[in-house]
Structure formats: structure tokens, C-alpha cells
Structure 1
Amino acid sequence: MTTVDQAKAKAKAMAKRLRVALAARNLAVPHATALELVAAGLGHDDWNTACSALDRPAEIGPRFVEAIPILRIFDEAKAREFYCGFLGFEAGFEHRFEPGLPLYMEVARAGLRLHLSEHHGDASPGSAVFVPMRGVHAYHRELIDKRYGYARPGVDQAPWGDVLEVPDPFGNRLRFCERRDG
């Protein structure tokens, strides 16, 4: 198990490597700036917050890092047209147990990963995925500008934020939401 001192030393070493890499590209940054960048990369607001978090003893129990929704699809070509062509995701890994068997694949964009599966036991058709995001209005404009023949989603104002709901060709709904402060 990593001690607090080891964790801080590791973060400081990351900052040093960052400064060296940036200097090699003629981008000199002070050590304090590199520490702030490393803290942000670790998910903290600033270096002091990162140090405070590292000082706390490890939490007992699980820590969830991310969730990756699995959505049921029925047609590979339609899935690629919708998720990659329309929504702008990039295809990641693809898996079939053997040729001709159902596809299981990943698509990703801007930090969001989704798994798409033709396997009947992986997910129920008609699922909904709530996706907190920034820039929902810009994303809406991007989608509308594509003039996709099967979807012209709008942005709805909900009490919790602006929601862009996009149904896929398989009955699943993606709810992209830019939350309101407070």
C-alpha cells in the first residue's frame, strides 16, 4: 500500500517530469504551476487540495472510478452511422467470439465511453443514459448542423439543467445535460 509520503513524492515527481517535457518544447513553467497542473490531472482543484486529500487515510471500502453504460444495438452499420457519424464518437475496441457472432464494441468522445452490444443478455433495449457535460448548446448546434435524417433533437430546460435527449436507432435514449450551478 502506498504511504502518504510516497503519494506526495509521486505527485511531485510527475510535476518535475511535466516541467522537463514542457521545457523540451520551449514552454517553461514554474514548479508551482507544474504542481497545480498535476493536481488538476489528479482531479483536484489545486495543489493544496490534492495534498489535503493525500494526507487523509485511505477510505475503507470501494471507490468508484467511472461507469461505462452498455447499450443494446441490433445492427452494426446503423450503430456506426449513429454513434460515429452523427454523434461524433470514435470506435474503440471491437470483440466477437468468432466471425458471424454478435459484436461488442466501445465508442468514445471527450471522456465519455459507451459500450455497444449485440448480445441479448447485456442490456435491455430502451435504456436511458444520463450524461453530465459542458457545452450542451454547442453540441446541439453540431448535431443539428449535420442534418441527420433520423434525429433533430432539441434542448429542454429542466430544473436541474439544460437537457439534450437523443434517441438512438435501437430505442435507447442519451440524455446529455449541462447542469445548473447550485
Structure 2
Amino acid sequence: MTTVDQAKAMAKRLRAALAARDLAVPHATALELVAAGLGHDDWNTACAALDRIGEDEPRFLETVPILRIFDEAKAREFYGGFLGFTSGFEHRFEPGLPLYMEVARAGLRLHLSEHHGDASPGSTVFVPMTGIHAFHRELTDKRYGYARPGIERAPWGDVLEVADPFGNRLRFCERRAG
């Protein structure tokens, strides 16, 4: 997400580029143009909406849940075969030791771990998404023997929940406008 400081720098570059073409605009006008380019009505609205984290401050980029698994083959069948995730990295300290792996699909990354101390079985992960009805059709069409999830209408959106073979739940939600 663009920060206020980045937007100000964009306005400064815009003014310089316009000045190089003999088009002088006040700094306030450049700020308004940048705000419009970022999809905001005006600079004040942009300032309220833009991220205020500075370049040197900590920034949390994403959350990657770690889910406990007990059986590699079942995990691959469920997350790969049923949910359509692809495997990313895999790590074992040495052959025969517990697996730690990443699976990903459409911007969602999960870490799956056989390590006892990494996570508790029975966790729930809330996953905001779009296209939940198409995802539901995809899962239903697979006729997976251990899960036939439905979609529930909640006040905050349509929810599709699946439980993995290890008791973890993935709660996919397409939020409704308003």
C-alpha cells in the first residue's frame, strides 16, 4: 500500500516532470492529482486512507498461518488434491525427521508442520477471498470423499468452511458490500 510519504514524493516528481515541460503547477495541485491517480476524491481523503508507516518503521506484509499436520500423504491429498494448492518449499532437518512445508494458491500461503511445537491441531484460519461460489463449485465437482462443504450466509459475508484431516479449519469468506 502506498504511504503518505510515498504519495508526497510522487507529487514532487510530478511537479518536476511538468516543470520540465514548462507547465508550472502548485504543490497543492500536484498532491490533488496524485490523490486522484490513487483513486481518492482529494488529498485530504487520500491522507486519511493512505498508510502512515514511514520507510524506516516496521511493516507487517502478510500473515502466513502454520497448521499442524500428522501425515504427509494425507496433507498432500487434502491441500493439493482437494483444495488445489501447490507445494512450495519443503524442509526436514534430515531424512526421516518431521516435515515443514509451504502450500500456496491464489495469493494464500500456508505453512504445514509435522513438528510438535509449531502449532496446535484444531486451529481455525479465516481467509477473506473473492470468487467463493466458483471455489465451492470446484470443490463440489471433485466429489472428495471426506468433505462436501456448503456455503453459509453470515451477516459479514458468504462463508465456506473446510476441515483438514488434522482438525484444522479453513474458513473462507467473501465479504458482502456494506
Could you tell me the TM-score, scaled by structure 1's length?
Answer: 0.71
5+ unaligned residues in a row in structure 2: which ranges?
A: 15-33
Q: Deviation per CA, 1:13-33, whole angstroms, max 9, x where unpaired?
A: xxxxxxxxxxxxxxxxxxxxx
For 2:112, the equivalent position in structure 1 comes to: 116
Q: 1:17-96 maps to which residues of 2 (within 5 A)?
A: 46-47=37-38, 58=54, 61-96=57-92
Alignment partner of 2:161 out of 157, 162, 165: 165
CA distance in 1, matches of 2:7, 2:164: 48
Give 1:130's aligned amino acid: F
Larger Rg: 2
Query: Is this contact kept in 2: 1:4–1:55, CA < 8 A?
Result: no
CA distance in 2, matches of 1:55, 1:114: 26
Q: Deviation per CA, 1:109-139, whole angstroms, max 9, x where unpaired?
A: 0000000000010000000000000011110
* CA-based RMSD: 3.1
Secondary structure of the residue that 2:67 maps to in structure 1? strand
TM-superposed deviation, 1:62: 3.0
Q: Deviation per CA, 1:12-53, whole angstroms, max 9, x where unpaired?
A: 9xxxxxxxxxxxxxxxxxxxxxxxxxx9xxxx994465x967
Q: How many residues align?
A: 148
Secondary structure of the residue that 2:88 maps to in structure 1? strand
Alignment partner of 2:134 out of 120, 129, 138: 138
CA distance in 2, matches of 1:83, 1:99: 22
> Aligned in 2, Cα 1:79/1:7: closer, same or farther, shift over 3 Å?
farther
Query: Is this contact kept in 1: 2:53–2:59, CA < 8 A?
Result: no
CA distance in 1, matches of 2:92, 2:36: 41
Percent identical among aligned pairs is 75
Give 1:72's aligned amino acid: R
Could you tell me the TM-score, scaled by structure 2's length?
Answer: 0.73
Query: Is this contact kept in 1: 2:66–2:112, CA < 8 A?
Result: yes
